Structure 1
Amino acid sequence: MIALHGLPFILVEYDGFRRFVASLNPLFKTISRTTIRNDCIKAFEEQKVALQEMFKDAQSRFSLTADMWTSNQTLGYMCITCHYITADWEVKKKVIKFFVVETPHTGIEMFNQVLECIQEWNIEYKLFGITLDNAAANDSMVFELKLNLVDKV
């Protein structure tokens, strides 16, 4: 429920939530926000490994989209989404990386993060394309990616 609805982990420690759960099942043992956080991270890691295995065995190519924005605290964030078609011809997309981009938001810094992501997911030999917006830093990032990936296609 917490992961599905994006609720805060501390929800499990609210008195109202605990009373509600107790009304449904008085024998239910309540847990702390640390436990629920650890459980969510464990589930995430298990799903990540399963998705990496699927990527490894997939016969299709993968396309990436990346978008970067700056928060009102001037922190830069980038999200990388992987798009692919399954063996059953279903179009799928998965967020494979969401991270803070250190300032200054240079093409080299973004390149390092994107290349690390591509390598972590082991898709450098199956990469079809990357779609980005027209930010100036993306031009230098793409230049560096082409230099590092062109021989792997």
Structure 2
Amino acid sequence: MEKHVKRTSKENSEAESSKRKREGSIVWQHFEKTNDRKKAICTYCGKMLKTAGNTTNLTDHLKRIHPNRLTAEKLPVSTKLDAFLLRDVQYPADSKRKKELDKHVMRMIALDVQPFSIVNDTGFRALMHKMDPRYKLPSKTYLRDVSLLKVYESLKGQLQSALECVEYVAITTDGWTSKTNESYLTITCHFINTEFQLNSAVLSTSTLLTSTNHTAANIADSIRVVLTEWGLMGKVVSIVTDNDSTMKKACELLEVKHFPCFAHTVNLLVQDVLKLEILGPILTK
């Protein structure tokens, strides 16, 4: 009986050892051993590497030169050692996890009004690597030219759906001129939604149709283009602007009631009062 138990135990041990050898490392899916079995040749670039009895050098080569060939999403991790060595392999650009994290980075930049260049900051990059070593931050160019446009189109669609259910809206607008004499105009829409909640949303911030033309007609045409794009031309009941005569004339051309900005009116009043002769001695003192 004792001999039978020892023999069975030995057979099980040999079977387990044989199984481990058969499993091997997934690295060998990308390398071929030389005849002396001391080196391995990369099947992608032909580079010959020493194995030194383990696959550390081989894994490091794949991570640096062929990162897309060694991903947990495509290849099964057969051993705990492989899992440890693969901890820094980056997510593929088309992976669900990468896209989700890119979206959250873009959202953080928008909500906190951060510059796109934050992705190049040493501290932020170190933080993100500590949180998830496999995540590679996108470039500021990608965020600006790709991610931002996707977020804008998504939010624009949501706002358009909300405005379709609104019967009346009010508009506030103001303009400013850059150092190059280009005029910009921001148009903000205010409305009460179906749940009787007051909402405000910026519809556009852009140059005038003719950027160096500051006439009332050019301002009116620029506002009309934005309102038409959003399907609001027939829903606007009032436009609030400053007391500039050009803005007032633009509202007349649009045939929409004009309301002067209360804060701007108070500011003009204070400025006029400060110019009174009776206040001269007091201001001097």
Coarse TM-score class (shorter-chain normalised): 0.7 to 0.9
CA distance 1:6–1:73, shift in 2 (3 Å): farther
Question: Larger strand proportion, structure 1 or 2?
Answer: 1
1:103 is displaced (CA, Å) by 1.7
Higher RCO structure, 1 or 2 (CA under 8 Å, sep 6+)? 1
What's the counterpart of residue 84 of structure 1? Answer: 191
TM-score of the pair, normalised by structure 2: 0.48
Note the 1:18-57 alignment, pairs <5 A: 18-37=125-144, 38-57=146-165
The answer (yes or no) to whether the contact 2:186–2:204 under 8 Å persists in 1 is yes
Secondary structure of residue in 2 paired with 1:113: helix
1:4 is displaced (CA, Å) by 0.9
What's the counterpart of residue 201 of structure 2? Answer: 94
Secondary structure of residue in 2 paired with 1:134: coil
Separation in 1 of the partners of 2:235 and 2:244? 25
1:46 is displaced (CA, Å) by 1.1
2:214 is aligned with 1:105: yes
Gaps of 5+ in 1: none
Letter in 1 for 2:159: L
1:61 is displaced (CA, Å) by 0.7
| RMSD, matched Cα | 1.9
1:140 is displaced (CA, Å) by 2.6
1:99 is displaced (CA, Å) by 1.4
Separation in 2 of the partners of 1:78 and 1:31? 31
TM-score of the pair, normalised by structure 1: 0.86
Letter in 2 for 1:61: Y
Gaps of 5+ in 2: 1-107, 258-285
1:20 is displaced (CA, Å) by 1.6
Report sequence identity in percent: 29
Secondary structure of residue in 1 paired with 2:242: coil
Separation in 2 of the partners of 1:128 and 1:36? 38
Paired residue total? 147
Equivalent position to 1:66, from 159, 168, 173: 173
| Deviation string, structure 1 residues 8-33 (Cα, Å, up to 9, x no partner) | 11211233321221011111122111
| Deviation string, structure 1 residues 29-64 (Cα, Å, up to 9, x no partner) | 221112222112211111102211221122x31000
Secondary structure of residue in 1 paired with 2:206: strand
Higher alpha-carbon Rg? 2
